[in-house]
Amino acid sequence: MASKFSAIPLLLILFFSLSHARFSPIFTSPETLCNSTPHPSFCKSSLPYNNPGTIHDYAKVSISQSLTNARNFLSLVQYYLTLPSTSYESTIRALEDCQFLAQLNIDSLSYAFETIDNSYDLPGSHSDDLLTLLSATLTNVETCLDGLQSTASASSILKAFSAPLSNGTQCYSVSLSLFRGGWVPKTAEGRLLTERKSINFPNFEKGARKFLPLQSTNGRKLLERFTDGVSVSKMVVVNPYGNGDFATITDAVNSAPNNTGSGDGYFVIYVVAGVYNEYVSIPKNKKYLMMIGDGINQTIITGNRSVVDGWTTFNSSTFAVVGKGFVAVNITFQNTAGAIKHQAVAVRNGADLSAFYNCSFEGYQDTLYTHSLRQFYRDCEIYGTIDYIFGNAAVVFQNCKIYSRLPLSGQFNTVTAQGRTDPNQNTGTSIQNCSILAAEDLASSNGTTKSYLGRPWKEYSRTVVMQSFIDSLIDPSGWAPWSGDFALDTLYYAEFDNTGPGSKTTERVTWPGYHLINATDAANFTVSNFTQGDVWLPATGVPYFDGLL
């Protein structure tokens, strides 16, 4: 269906928004605005020239163009999926990833345009939401490109897609930059705890917040062992041995209502102890779904897809979630393909405002794909070898145990591979009050395997390790390069107030992008500031502390 926006000439968008200004606007030229973006030449060529306007006006024009770009790209992908020559299964899978990601971008850009169409001012939470969505559009394009590049049979298609993907990246980057300049308050660029008011809850214990019961108007109490303060609309039981509502997790997910809101209460799926050989997907229309198991190594969801066996990294996941507001508790997620099969994801998470509590993630290379949007992990265990926490979400790990396993001969371990591609993305990996340890197989080996905190997967890779215990498995240099000097100037890697034999910083890398930070800087990567957790985490029932310890 044709967009109602695509038929509106860009100049009409500009002049319409000017006529509805709520304050005295500051007019400027496209050239001035474009010079502040990562792609000034592309920006100048795409915006209406010699027409005075505000940054808000030009951001609206740019987002409208981005929406048109996303729709055109989706049409291109769908065309190639219909061609008889597109017969290789690996190519089809890569194109299906691109189709899925392009549709996500259309949804995000449509929402962004509608939200800012008549507004020069947004509440702080709304500007955070749109900044997150626009950051994810770039991640989605990059993921599409990664999948095509890793598929040998897609080489000819990659040539046809090269220009559209490049144009999309630049278009979304300009939109993100202009939106950030027009709607995101300056304090949000480096928001400190002292600058943001938190919700006040009584009773603190070791920095973790004890939650007051939330009133539920339409639901029953959640399982007593988790919390009695979460609003629940309905609870169903998955039990493959009978005495449940469903025998499979997928059937239970499919039964959940579509597009519920945060005030409707959680649809809870209780998964009894057992091993579930299922590939589970939580789609975008299954929002505010909570899945609770019987505990780590009791409720196990397992699969073995891998890149070696023809899957893209993106669709190799045993468990994939996109639906907003997802919460998982007391579950083990596995990918058992093994180190020999290279990239093999246990969980891929692209769900905004999602949380995992007391869960385990088991794999080797690329175990946990924190793909995009805002995420939180508390009291979890993550096992892997190479880049086993990777992706481009705004994510905080808190009180987790992170275990490096024994890799293949000649390989080294990297805990993180963060994928930020643009300086305006609000993304990164924050590891707070965690323990970085050797798994049993690595600890009992001969000790020749080197392990690092991370390496820069993308140009603006951002990872912070703070207030954590780092054991002796971590090499004194701390961090590993990706390839030569790639991203060493543009990455942001930081450490703050860590302990343990691997935390000594005297022999750390001397890259321009590596930092030893103070408490003021570290506060920017806490739950409250980095993921706006005070706004959404209390309703989940998942414990957390919002600031530094």
Stretch (H or E) spanning 432:
strand 428-432
**Distance of alpha carbon 397 from alpha carbon 445, whole angstroms:** 28
pLDDT of residue 187: 55
- How confident is the model at residue 26, as a pLDDT? 77
Phi and psi, residue 327, nearest 5°: -130, 135
The per-residue pLDDT for 44 is: 92
Q: Beta-strand (E) ranges in 309-422?
A: 319-321, 327-329, 332-335, 347-349, 354-357, 360-362, 368-370, 374-378, 381-384, 386-391, 394-398, 401-404, 413-418
Helices (H) and strands (E) in the chain, counts: 12, 28
Compute mean pLDDT per 10 residues along the chain, 549 residues long, and list them.
40 43 64 93 87 88 97 97 87 96 98 86 86 98 95 83 96 97 69 34 32 31 59 94 95 98 94 97 98 96 97 98 97 98 98 98 98 98 98 98 97 98 98 98 91 98 98 98 98 98 98 98 98 96 96
CATH 3.40.190.10 assigned to domain 30-183? The reply is no
Two tokens, residue 78: 């769908």
What are the two backbone dihedrals, phi and then psi, of residue 159, each rounded to the nearest 5 degrees? -65, -40
- Domain ranges in the chain with CATH number 2.160.20.10: 385-548
3-class DSSP state of 124: helix
Is residue 321 within 8 A of residue 353, CB to CB? The reply is: no
What residue spans of 117-154 are helical by DSSP H?
A: 124-149
Q: Where in the chain is the domain with CATH 1.20.140.40?
A: 30-183
Closest residue by Cα to residue 397 from 525, 535, 220: 525
> What pLDDT is recorded for position 224?
55
Q: What is the pTM of this model?
A: 0.91
Distances from the Cα of 10 to the Cαs of 17, 57, 179, 361, in angstroms?
A: 11, 10, 17, 47
Q: Which of 387, 422, 471, 546 is catalytic?
A: 387
Is residue 117 annotated as a catalytic residue, yes or no?
no
Give whole-number Cα distances, 208 to 467, 470, 498, 539, in Å: 14, 21, 19, 15
Q: Decide: 34 and 40 in contact? Cβ < 8 Å.
A: yes
Q: Are 18 and 49 in contact (CB under 8 A)?
A: no
Element (H, E) at 191: none
- Among the CATH numbers 2.160.20.10, 3.40.50.300, 2.60.120.260, 3.40.50.720, which is that of 385-548? 2.160.20.10
